[in-house]
Amino acid sequence: MIPDQWYAVLDSSEVKAGRPVGVTRLGEKMVFWRDDQGQVSCMADLCPHRGCALRIGKIVHNHIQCPFHGFEFDSSGRCQLVPANGKAAQTPKALQVKTYPTREAHHFIWIWWGEPRETYPPLPFFDDLEDGFSYMVDKAVWPVHYSRAIENQLDVFHLAFVHDTTIGRGNRTLSNGPLVKLDGEHMDIWVYNEVDDGSHVALRPGDLPEPARPPFLRFIFPNIWMNRISENMRIVVSFVPVDENHTLFYLRYYQRMVRVPLLRELFNLLTLLSSRVILKQDERVVVTQRPPKSEAKMNEKPIVQDRPIVTYRKHRQELMDQAGKKA
């Protein structure tokens, strides 16, 4: 995983007041909980006293309480009460739980994966999704490294083969470009696929005109992606690294074409159900890729149309190298 990044790791609705939520994220067991003001905290799911899981504890006095001996920890991970010593006793400083800087925005819960710092960069997100959109959320888990899951959504010329019965109908096998632009942590992709009538070979990126429309695909490092289907319909995915071998997809289907409440929910549900079929078609192929984890340099033979994949791998490695130099 890329250090020193904000990762969207949970949907906000999954952490409710008064109940800890235990999950595995980025290979570590974590517990999330809310205080009386609705603020979310994230810490290691491990009581430093005897190693019990905090996720099966309670929220009391705006603290998370260990279910084993009642030790209470605040949002900073500091122990505030050891019941066996009495309420008036000072608590040992060694009773400290590892915490993760946590933010909540865009109905996601984000954690900072890296060394704590005084100031943090802004949360990554798409700046044109707030006005008038409704959405429905779906989840799926693939038994793959998150890099392979992301690369599949950056692949612009597999549709006619993997999705020949769904979004790949039309047999647009000839893939011009694609155009790829990397601006900071934003990667934009313009797709120009067409039916191959045998009259010409695919155009290279340099032969394509400057795009007159927003990108079809946008990926923001480290783990969020958007498919701009139209001005009024988008798909957003957060690719959450569970561990080295599993990726959790949070899929959101945004639309602002249908606004009547009942019809809107029905439309959103039908979109969700159809997208499940498409995702299953992708999963069937991606789980067979070897090696299961992608790297900047691999024994693969990319072609021009793999430019989004190559760009992703190269920049991912650059970010990891930068984080390593700071460590």
pLDDT in tens, the chain (327 residues): 899 999 999 999 999 999 999 999 999 999 999 999 999 999 999 999 999 999 999 999 999 999 999 999 999 999 999 999 999 999 999 999 999 999 999 999 999 999 989 999 999 999 888 778 888 899 999 999 999 999 999 999 999 999 999 999 999 999 999 999 999 999 999 999 999 999 999 999 999 999 999 999 999 999 999 999 999 999 999 999 999 999 999 999 998 988 888 888 888 888 888 888 999 999 999 999 999 899 999 999 999 999 999 999 999 999 999 988 654
Q: Tell me which residue of 153, 165, 151 sits closest to 237, measured CA to CA.
A: 153
Spatial strand order in the sheet of 99-100 = 21-25, 28-34, 40-44, 99-100
Domain 5-113, CATH class in plain words: mainly beta
d(CA 211, CA 178): 11
CATH of domain 134-326: 3.90.380.10
Measuring CA to CA, how many Å separate 191 from each of 180, 188, 195, 286? 9, 10, 13, 21
What residues form DSSP beta bridges with 325? Answer: none
Cα(311)–Cα(187) distance, rounded to whole angstroms? 8
- The torsion angles phi and psi of 28, rounded to 5 degrees, stand at -125, 145
Query: Using CA atoms, how far apart are residues 302 and 87, in angstroms rounded to an integer?
Result: 64
Structure tokens at 71: 């030790």
β-strand partners of 11: 108
Q: Report the C-alpha gap between 145 and 243 in whole angstroms.
A: 8
Query: What is the token pair recorded at 53?
Result: 């899981």
Domain ranges of the chain: 5-113, 134-326
